[in-house]
């Protein structure tokens, strides 16, 4: 038996022992996606974590995703496969910084992208993901809204709504470094391909694309499309599901640097070790959890 098969077998045994379910984000390594019970985007993973019946949720993704699962499931054990897998964009705003912004714009409720800490969520009126940002913003009764922390998602939403967004200047380095010149070059090289990008990309990149979609929305879009080839503006991990679901279609990345190093910290060995040692449990202090849960629940009620 190969060592990969040995690790897979070990993970299956540990799953049984722990009564665990393994969930993975679309950016995980292919072999990690393949051992997961459920693979999805941030919204789907948050939803899934309210529906599972398992005692333990092993989360293959970054910290804020596991923390959202812990906010929604205080009675379950949530283990983050790798404790130091974080999201640099989520770290760009602290609860203190958000409170400063709230002082500057009194009366404006906060919509916070789910890529944020529990403390920031606790200060917010409602959360959103890239899949439901427009619907969430439209659901807020006020006309003026503070949006944190992603400037690009905030800008994209502001082009799709009548609300006025006051946008915090955070960004995702993986998407923000994609330049319009790269899109134009890819379009010249693959003139028949459709360009789909994540709304964390810059406005001038989104302007050149056919659609701006969350990762799972991209999967659905490609499956439903009659086109044969696609230029993909998001983290390269998504190619695994895209190719699995569409073996006859062709996919091109905009550059070779579409890699989230935090997502890639999780390997099969790391998953097995975390389960074996029952380590990296994610918990949120109850006072913060209850406030953050309100913001997440409001979001789940919208979409
Ligand atoms: P999705 O919710 O679209 O999967 O995106 C999560 C993320 O971290 C994008 O960088
Ligand atoms: Fe954060 Fe960007 Fe990585 Fe997503 S791809 S987890 S936004 S750093």
Give the number of other Cβ atoms within 10 Å of residue 94's Cβ: 15
Give the number of other Cβ atoms within 10 Å of residue 187's Cβ: 17
Q: Which two tokens stand for residue 223?
A: 């499956």
CA 206/CA 270 separation, integer angstroms = 35
Residues with CB under 6 A from ligand 2: 62, 87-89, 115, 172, 174, 200, 235, 260, 262-263
CATH of 3-86+263-283, one of 3.40.50.10800, 3.10.50.30, 3.40.50.150, 3.60.21.10: 3.40.50.10800
95 CA from centroid of ligand 2 (Å):
19
Q: Is 262 helix (H, G, I), strand (E, B) or coil?
A: coil
Residues with CB under 6 A from ligand 1: 26, 41-42, 115, 129-130, 172, 198, 200, 214-215
* Domain 90-171+287-302, CATH: 3.40.50.10800
DSSP structure string for 157-195: HHTT-SSEEEE--B--HHHHT--HHHHHHHHHH-TTPEE
End-to-end CA distance of the chain: 45
Q: What is the pLDDT at residue 57?
A: 97
Query: Do the first three CATH levels of 3-86+263-283 and 90-171+287-302 match, i.e. the same topology?
Result: yes
Take atom 8 of ligand 1 and give the residue whose Cα is closest: 115
List the domain boundaries for the chain: 3-86+263-283, 90-171+287-302, 178-253
What parts of the chain have a pLDDT lower than 70? 1, 303
CA 203/CA 133 separation, integer angstroms = 16
CA 88/CA 92 separation, integer angstroms = 7
Q: What is the pLDDT at residue 2?
A: 74
178 CA from centroid of ligand 2 (Å):
13
Which residue among 262, 265, 266 has the greatest number of ligand 2 atoms within 8 angstroms of its CB, and so is best to mutate?
262
CA 104/CA 245 separation, integer angstroms = 47
258 CA from centroid of ligand 2 (Å):
10
Take atom 5 of ligand 2 and give the residue whose Cα is closest: 260
Q: What order do you get walking across the sheet with 38-40 strand by strand?
A: 38-40, 20-25, 56-60, 77-80
**Is residue 139 within 8 Å of residue 157, measured between CB atoms?**
no
Q: What is the pLDDT at residue 59?
A: 98
Q: Which residues contact 196 (CB under 8 A, 6 or more apart)?
A: 209, 210, 211, 212, 213, 218, 221, 222, 230, 231, 232, 233
Q: What is the length of the chain?
A: 303
Q: Specify the ligand 2 atom closest to the Cα of 150.
A: 7
Q: Is 90 helix (H, G, I), strand (E, B) or coil?
A: helix
Considering the entire predicted model, what is its pTM?
0.97
Q: What is the pLDDT at residue 1?
A: 67
Which conformational region is residue 19 in: left (phi greater than 0), alpha (psi within -120 to 50 degrees), or beta?
left
* Ligand that lies nearest to the alpha carbon of residue 129, given by its number in the listed order: 1
**CA gyration radius for the chain?**
19
215 CA from centroid of ligand 1 (Å):
6
How wide is the angle at C-alpha 123 spanned by C-alphas 121 and 128, nearest 5°?
40
Question: What's 178-253's CATH class?
Answer: alpha beta
46 CA from centroid of ligand 2 (Å):
16
Take atom 2 of ligand 1 and give the residue whose Cα is closest: 42
pLDDT per residue as tens digits for the range 75-85: 999 999 999 99
């Amino acid at each position: 038996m190969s060592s990969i098969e040995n690790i897979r077998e070990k993970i299956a045994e540990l799953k049984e022992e722990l009564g665990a379910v393994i969930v993975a984000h679309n950016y995980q390594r292919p072999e990690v996606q393949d051992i997961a019970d459920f693979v999805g985007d941030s919204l789907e993973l948050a939803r899934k974590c309210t529906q599972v019946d398992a005692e333990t949720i092993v989360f293959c993704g970054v910290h804020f995703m596991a923390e959202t699962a812990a906010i929604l499931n205080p009675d379950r054990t949530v283990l983050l496969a790798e404790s130091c897998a974080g999201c640099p964009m989520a770290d760009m705003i602290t609860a203190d910084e958000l409170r400063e912004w709230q002082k500057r714009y009194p009366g404006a409720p906060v919509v916070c992208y789910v890529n944020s800490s529990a403390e920031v969520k606790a200060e917010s009126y409602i959360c959103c993901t890239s899949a439901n940002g427009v619907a969430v913003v439209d659901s807020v009764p006020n006309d003026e809204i503070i949006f944190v922390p992603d400037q690009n998602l905030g800008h994209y939403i502001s082009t799709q709504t009548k609300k006025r967004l006051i946008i915090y200047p955070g960004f995702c380095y993986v998407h923000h470094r994609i330049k319009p010149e790269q899109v134009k070059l890819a379009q010249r090289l693959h003139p028949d391909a459709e360009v789909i990008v994540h709304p964390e990309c810059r406005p001038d990149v989104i302007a050149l694309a056919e659609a701006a979609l969350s990762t799972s929305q991209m999967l659905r879009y490609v499956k439903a499309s009659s086109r044969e080839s696609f230029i993909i503006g998001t983290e390269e991990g998504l190619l695994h599901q895209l190719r699995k679901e569409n073996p006859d279609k062709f996919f091109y990345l905009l550059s070779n640097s579409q890699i989230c190093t935090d997502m890639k910290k999780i390997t099969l060995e790391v998953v097995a070790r975390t389960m074996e040692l029952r380590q990296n449990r994610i918990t949120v202090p109850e006072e913060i959890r209850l406030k953050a849960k309100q913001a997440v629940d409001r979001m789940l009620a919208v979409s």
